[in-house]
């Protein structure tokens, strides 16, 4: 069975989803980030898994459901933090972030039968999911993160290592207000969509 990893930041104002400001305030952006994280963790909790791990920068809050181990993120760039997350796994592992609250348990119910890796591209050029049948930290270390070509570079790294890659559906990350609207429309019944509607209706956005 697969270990499911979520890499996330504690949703604090000014520390998360800063590209949502404006039109949202830092406090509102943090509220949306918490909702996105809660939806993500809910999907992970409902998916089959050997183990569920939250790789967290900061402190856990009431948004954390039961059944998760919490591990502190290491120091360094995102590539180093992803590498460290995989290094802590001793079997198949799938890692996602907190930016795709539209994710479902079905999307996370991956198996590696006939595959060495799973890769989910993001619409902004990054990736929302990376799975490795045999976790190797070196497959992500020194991949340039947060660029329009991050996903392409990471996928090429997998292929160059001779891995057979299973492609997962492309999803949209929540970075901007336009992203938030599109993602809420794709998952209208989640906490993220409800919080966005509440904030929008509260001041006429």
pLDDT value at residue 171: 98
Residue 90 buriedness (CB in 10 A; 0-12 / 13-18 / 19+): exposed
- The answer to whether residue 204 scores a pLDDT higher than 80 is no
Question: For 22-69, what is each residue's pLDDT tens digit?
Answer: 999 999 999 999 999 999 999 999 999 999 999 999 999 999 999 999
Question: For 107-164, what is each residue's pLDDT tens digit?
Answer: 999 989 999 999 999 999 999 999 999 999 999 999 999 999 999 999 999 999 999 9
- Please give the structure tokens belonging to residue 131: 């799975």
Largest CA-CA distance found in the chain, in angstroms, rounded: 52
| Sequence ranges of the domains in the chain | 3-203
Residue 140: phi and psi, rounded to 5, are -115, -20
Q: Are 78 and 126 in contact (CB under 8 A)?
A: no
**CATH topology for the 3-203 domain:** Spore Coat Polysaccharide Biosynthesis Protein SpsA; Chain A (3.90.550)
Question: For 165-195, what is each residue's pLDDT tens digit?
Answer: 999 999 999 999 999 999 999 999 999 999 9
């Amino acid at each position: 069975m697969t270990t499911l990893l979520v890499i996330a930041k504690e949703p604090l104002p000014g520390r998360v989803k800063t590209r949502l400001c404006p039109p949202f305030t830092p406090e509102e952006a943090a509220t949306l980030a918490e909702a996105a994280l809660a939806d993500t963790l809910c999907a992970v909790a409902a998916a089959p898994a050997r183990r569920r791990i939250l790789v967290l920068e900061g402190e856990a809050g009431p948004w954390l459901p039961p059944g998760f181990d919490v591990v502190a993120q290491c120091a360094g760039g995102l590539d180093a933090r992803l590498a460290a997350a995989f290094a802590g796994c001793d079997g198949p592992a799938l890692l996602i972030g907190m930016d795709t609250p539209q994710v479902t348990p079905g999307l996370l119910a991956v198996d590696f039968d006939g595959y060495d890796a799973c890769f989910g591209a993001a619409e902004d050029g990054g990736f929302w999911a990376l799975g490795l049948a045999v976790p190797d930290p070196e497959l992500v270390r020194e991949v340039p993160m947060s660029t329009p070509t991050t996903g392409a570079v990471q996928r090429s790294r997998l292929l160059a290592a001779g891995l057979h890659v299973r492609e997962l559906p492309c999803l949209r990350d929540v970075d901007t207000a336009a992203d938030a609207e599109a993602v809420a429309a794709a998952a209208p019944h989640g906490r993220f969509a409800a919080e966005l509607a509440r904030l929008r209706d509260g001041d006429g956005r």
